[in-house]
A and B are shown apart, each in its own frame.
Chain A
Amino acid sequence: EDKVVQSPLSLVVHEGDTVTLNCSYEVTNFRSLLWYKQEKKAPTFLFMLTSSGIEKKSGRLSSILDKKELFSILNITATQTGDSAIYLCAVLNAGGTSYGKLTFGQGTILTVHP
């Protein structure tokens, strides 16, 4: 059974801090790992990672994948109150009976105080 575990489950920081969110996975046929941000409603897409060691960056957010150790990290630098959200990690399965299936972790609740 595919499994995705995120840590920490919750995190409270002050504006300006840097945070690192972790995601480890076990999946039978890995295709890619995705990060989403969820603020009350629909998760919004952040990154899709397919190859090891290649950092993806968008403003203050960056993410990298390690396919050997089966984990990914999401970094947020100079955090702002608008970064407060649930961050979801998900792994996309490439084959077999789970073809195309996205398995989600529990999410990390990030709270940024002014």
Chain B
Amino acid sequence: DGGITQSPKYLFRKEGQNVTLSCEQNLNHDAMYWYRQDPGQGLRLIYYSQIVNDFQKGDIAEGYSVSREKKESFPLTVTSAQKNPTAFYLCASSIVTQETQYFGPGTRLLVL
């Protein structure tokens, strides 16, 4: 059963803490993406990766970091430098960067 999984569903972060959001896909897609969604706004691109061991900053990369060591995995770390991390985080993948992106179920991050 192919698809994109994200975990956890909900994540709580304390002040000054780094947290990592997981994204895994078994669709054999080369490209993967991280978006942030805030109420009343569309999705904004944080980082994307076209192939393994390569990634590029999106529009709002400050305070975030990523890695792409395996084709199927693209974890996102929200660092303490991200001052307003409360949002809904969506991971997506596509066969290659010019094709339709498919989304995971999302992780809701809340700050304690």
The complex places the Cα of A94 from the Cα of B98 at a distance, in Å, of 7
Whether B43 sits at the interface, judged by CB under 8 Å, is yes
**A104 x B102 contact (CB < 8 A):** no
Q: Is the CB of B106 within 8 A of A42?
A: yes
In the bound complex, residues from chain B placing their C-beta under 8 Å from that of A43 are 43, 90, 103
Residues on the B chain within 8 Å of A4, using CB: 42
> In the complex, what distance in Å separates the CA atom of A101 from the CA atom of B43?
12
Main secondary structure of the interface of A (DSSP, over half): strand
Q: Is the CB of A48 within 8 A of B100?
A: yes
A88 to B90, CA, bound (A): 14
Q: Which residue of B lies closest to A109 (CB)?
A: B40
Nearest Cβ on chain B to A53's Cβ, whole angstroms: 21
Interface pair B45/A41, CB less than 8 Å apart? no
Interface residues of B (CB under 8 A from A): 4, 31, 33, 35, 40-45, 48, 50, 58, 90, 96-98, 100-106
